[in-house]
Chains A and B, each alone.
Chain A
């Protein structure tokens, strides 16, 4: 119990003093997970919308695969990304293993199916005749798709929250492809694992609290935007 209390006190000391190392880890975590979420938003929304609006043989199978991907284990993603970008791997020439870029790739792969699945469901939940109505008002196909995406903005914000929440808190893939290099690829989750392993529970607790606060603040912001749209 004393250990926990000491840990919490130390955590607040680190937070209040704006410890440079903790701040740099936090900033890197935000950059990596934010970029990965942004990339996943692009691919997830485009592919999710395309699947929702197109009829093709095997569509149900594709939707099942996307839904399965929403629960993709980060360690498995880490493993495959590592193999792909390993020195002798098919993408080894990129030389990004143990860099923040590799972490962005892995996190984007984890977040994309989450965003894709939620986008797909939200577009499918729109009234079936809405896209015909929009086309009948003279919209081109691209204009129609854009209006539908805008019309689904509330669930899409939920997709952003779920995607960001999924990647900011994952550790398996980040540690495998990022290597947890101090000052370069160390993020909140990998640092927490390392400090716990070293028995530095105070620092680990401090990092854990920052992680929670970060996730909370981002979700608070997105929820605020979402609810403001909802009340409009």
Chain B
């Protein structure tokens, strides 16, 4: 894979304060990279820097192998990189004139502009809105127009800053599906600032977790969600259970880890005596009313339900089996099994479902 955008030892300062400090980031061509992290982590600043809209204090930004140093380099790069901001930022004119804006800057003739604009409007299913004033659009329509405006220019890279924020759930769902489809079809490289785990899993092949202006982990989305490097990343990507333990014994691929007086089995190879974190995602825990007789799961415990909270389409169950565990269970399963707070259940999870991290 070839990186289309590369960052090395990049520092961005605002008012003398370092707001971005990235040692290394590679944006691979034709892939979707999600920048995830809490508010104020520096995701938007990184996007603006990648777009050539912010001048770094020091460090290297490369676009297609070419170092971007001067204002002229940045202006040149901006012709190949489009940005979609959180707010649609449409001009107070018609939809078609908004979509045509980038072409006007490139001094295309009216025939070419019309052809490109019509194509983009059609692609995003908003041809009917062409003559409408941007002021009269709904949030979802305005977002589509801003996406059409960015995609119309056929950029090499598109940068999206929390593009689905402030949209109602059905609009967000549709737009997310359409965007993913378009990105897959056009093979345009995309970098998205997101703060929703579900959006990240649905859209991005790669991810970088940011906190305090730094990238704390980057890699494939699956890798980050299943094998977080630190307690912060684990908790941010939705690993509900993070247990402190000590390796009791181990062979080449299997370890026994002491956790709060219990022993759990996990894959991995840490030395005996090593302090570790055991991270278990809630969707990897199975809950049943009886102890399973035959199961491939290495870890089976009796647990008491200490709390149940209703989420959108499932229940979140807080379990006590000598150590705390969090599991998800569908609403119908919970009702079929007649589970309630105080019920005693059996929980099981595989050794491979536990991600073990060194604890300093």
Chain A residues with CB under 8 Å of chain B are: 127, 129-130, 132-140, 143, 147, 150-151, 232
Contact = CB atoms under 8 A, between A and B. Distances in A.
Given A135-B53, A138-B153, A143 B82 contact: no
Contact of B91 (A129, A132, A136, A147): A147
A133 B92 contact: no
14 contacts: A127-B89, A129-B86, A133-B89, A134-B101, A135-B78, A137-B82, A137-B105, A137-B149, A137-B153, A138-B102, A140-B105, A147-B91, A147-B101, A232-B93
Nearest to B159: A136
Given A133-B89, A151-B91, A138 B48 contact: no
Contacts of A132: 48, 51, 53, 83, 85
A150 B91 CA distance: 9
Pick the 9 closest A-B CB pairs, nearest first: A136-B83, A137-B102, A133-B89, A139-B105, A138-B105, A138-B79, A132-B53, A129-B85, A130-B89
A78 to B, nearest CB: 39
B89 A140 contact: no
Interface in B61-103: 75, 78-79, 81-83, 85-87, 89, 91-93, 101-102
A132 B101 CA distance: 14
Given A136-B78, A137-B150, 19 more contacts: A129-B87, A132-B48, A132-B51, A132-B53, A133-B89, A135-B53, A136-B83, A137-B82, A137-B101, A137-B153, A138-B79, A138-B102, A138-B106, A138-B153, A139-B105, A140-B75, A147-B101, A150-B91, A232-B92
B352 to A, nearest CB: 44
B286 interface: no
Interface in B142-161: 149-150, 153
Contacts of A135: 53, 78
Interface of B: 48, 51, 53, 75, 78-79, 81-83, 85-87, 89, 91-93, 101-102, 105-106, 133, 149-150, 153
Contacts of A147: 91, 101
B55 to A, nearest CB: 12
Contacts of A130: 89
A136 B83 CA distance: 6
Contacts of A138: 78-79, 102, 105-106, 153
B82 A136 contact: yes
Contacts of B89: 127, 129-130, 133
Contacts of B82: 136-137
A54 to B, nearest CB: 15
A137 B91 CA distance: 13
Nearest to A147: B91
A57 to B, nearest CB: 12
A133 B91 CA distance: 10
A133 B44 CA distance: 13
Contacts of B85: 129, 132-133
Contact of A133 (B75, B79, B81, B83): B83
Contacts of A136: 51, 53, 78, 81-83
Nearest to B88: A133
A129 B81 CA distance: 16
A72 to B, nearest CB: 32
Nearest to B92: A151
Nearest to A231: B133
A191 B317 CA distance: 88
A143 B91 CA distance: 14
A127 B86 CA distance: 12
A213 B103 CA distance: 45
B99 to A, nearest CB: 10
B316 to A, nearest CB: 37
A232 B133 contact: yes
Nearest to B146: A133
A136 B159 CA distance: 10
Nearest to B89: A133
A151 B124 CA distance: 25
Contacts of A133: 83, 85, 89
